[in-house]
Chain A
Amino acid sequence: MNIDSISNGIVIDHITAGLGMRLYELLGLEKLDCSVAIIKNVHSVKLGRKDIIKIDSDIPVSLDVIGYVDPGVTINIIRSGELVEKKSIEMPEQLRNVIFCKNPRCITTTEQELPHVFKLTDRANKVYRCIYCETKAN
């Protein structure tokens, strides 16, 4: 299977197999006009299988979202067909309006204007908690 290489854009590589769609949704890539390819279950020496997302446009993507969903990914920035930058992603300390608190008792359920903020409380187990009610993110 061939996917054309991109000239100006972003390749999100080394996505844990199965997480590509989640990342696509959380990054809001369905709203883009440019070509976006999700390649699933690609053979990988490092991971066995992996997903890849190619975005054929030089748009800003939220590194926080990527770091939250799958901190092991690599971001490749492509300009004029050349790889100009490679970034490894870490779990962000805080997430703002990336995920939303589902606790019906949380103040965010009645105050719609409040930003939904989650804090990394346990890096080893990837646990994020709502800063208001401390409910664990799913």
Chain B
Amino acid sequence: MKRSLIDILDFSPEELQALIDTANDIIANPAAYRDLCRGKKLATLFFEPSTRTRLSFEAAMYELGGNVIGFSEAQSSSASKGESVADTAKVISCYADIIAMRHPKEGAPLVAAMNASIPVINAGDGGHNHPTQTLADLLTIYREKGGFENLTVGFCGDLKFGRTVHSLISALSRYPGLKLYLISPEELKLPSYVKKEVLAAKNIDYVQTTDLEGVMPELDILYMTRVQRERFFNEEDYLRLKDSYILTPDKLQNAREDLCIMHPLPRVNEISVAIDDDPRACYFKQVLYGKYMRMALILKLLKEAGTL
């Protein structure tokens, strides 16, 4: 049966664990996966620019032996002629076996999934969801921390518009013993609906603070985020808030030896390059793990659709 990944909660914790197991097996035995998608095509439909995510999907499909077709901006697609997302999804279903879609409008990948006859992966829809980033985050946490239970996680920066933050909080909230430190300026606090519908509903222990260094010794994981210019309607607000938190080596003085520092990338200046060589910096591993999770995801969805 055809299935799509639009929201990280579309998959149960057991399904996420199975993806992690597959990704770990790919890391251990890449040769065994080299030809599994031979003759299959991934369509990357990117209606807004993205380097990392699109190349990660393409690398994932190539490493499975498959091929990639697609476009990387709306101007080079039929959307510039006024074609609807629904029609695009129906047309691409005739050419490819699976779709990865990024779109600036929230909900566009869901519309595609409702109209395509092949699986659709949400590769980011505006400020809404980005589930494959969450898959990368989960594999990173699993490999660095050995599991998801009893973790203390600090999210720092833009917690209001940061879609990766909302998705990862939703995913982690399904495991016991989670404690969160939500570190942000007042204007970029986690939206109240996430607090109410995720944290309060699941009885998650959380603290809101503006003090990063004060909570540093408590953290198993520090998830830094960029203040995103494209999410602001007002440039003045962006300029005022963009440098709220900059992680430098001196701020890590009281951090644990086994702290795992994560970032969905791209970074601007919120993590100093001086930290890149610190063994606690995990953000480039996160990129690599994202590719393995996308490989595992493509395999899962193609198998469930009966294509493999």
Contacts and interface: CB of A to CB of B under 8 A. Distances in A.
| Interface residues on chain B, size class | 10 to 19
Given A133-B128, A134-B128, A108 B107 contact: yes
Interface string B90-103: 00000000000001
B107 A130 contact: yes
B105 A109 contact: yes
Contacts of B125: 107
B85 A133 contact: no
B84 A106 contact: no
A79 interface: no
B85 A107 contact: yes
Nearest to B201: A122
A136 B193 contact: yes
Interface stretch (A21-29, A70-78, A85-93, A110-118): A110-118
Contacts of B126: 105, 133
Contact of A114 (B106, B111, B127, B193): B111
Nearest to B107: A132
B103 A107 contact: yes
A135 B197 CA distance: 13
Nearest to B106: A133
| Interface residues on chain A, size class | 10 to 19
A76 B85 CA distance: 43
Contact of B85 (A111, A121, A131): A111
B106 A111 contact: no
B241 interface: no
Contacts of B105: 105-107, 109-110
Interface string B140-159: 00000000000000000000
B111 A105 contact: no
Contact of A107 (B108, B127, B193, B197): B108
B296 interface: no
Contacts of B197: 121-122
B75 to A, nearest CB: 15
A133 to B, nearest CB: 4
B97 to A, nearest CB: 24
Nearest to A108: B107
Nearest 6 CB-CB pairings of A with B: A132-B107, A133-B106, A107-B105, A107-B107, A107-B108, A133-B107
A103 interface: yes
A105 B108 contact: no
Contact of B106 (A107, A113, A121, A136): A107
Contacts of A109: 105
Contacts of A132: 106-108, 110-111
B127 A105 contact: yes
11 contacts: A105-B104, A105-B105, A105-B106, A107-B108, A107-B125, A110-B105, A114-B86, A132-B106, A132-B110, A133-B107, A133-B128
A112 to B, nearest CB: 9
Interface in B14-53: none
A107 B193 CA distance: 21
Contacts of B128: 105, 133-134
Given A106-B105, A134-B128, A111 B86 contact: yes
Contacts of A108: 107
Contacts of A136: 193
A125 B160 CA distance: 23
Given A111-B85, A113-B84, A106 B107 contact: yes
